[in-house]
Amino acid sequence: MQAQELFPQVQKLPLSEQMALLSYLVQLIQQEIGNAEPWQTVLERMGGMPQHLLSVGGLSDRDTRRQVIDERIRARRAG
């Protein structure tokens, strides 16, 4: 049953039953919110901050970052 079909039927109910239904729905929503897992950031879902990048300082500088990446690529190809 779609919500559009349900609303007219709920409106036909006595006010006390409408209030009971709304109270029940609020209770269900609060229960669902309480059971939900806390939101994680993308970084947390990926396993946290990559430690291999933190071990090298100054990676916020583009030239340093390029040099570190270049060195790592060369090391992989050599080894």
Residue-wise pLDDT for 46-79, tens only, equals 887 777 666 667 777 888 888 988 999 999 999 7
Which is nearest to 56 in space by CA: 66, 47, 48, 65?
65
Whole-model pTM over 0.85: no
Closest CA to 55 of 78, 72, 79: 72
pLDDT tens-place string over residues 4-34: 888 899 899 999 999 999 999 999 998 888 7
CA 51 – CA 48 distance, rounded (Å):
8
Higher pLDDT pick, 45 / 78? 78
What's the mean pLDDT in 32-49?
Answer: 78
Q: Give the single-character DSSP code of 47.
A: T
Per-residue confidence (pLDDT) for residue 25, from 0 to 100 = 92
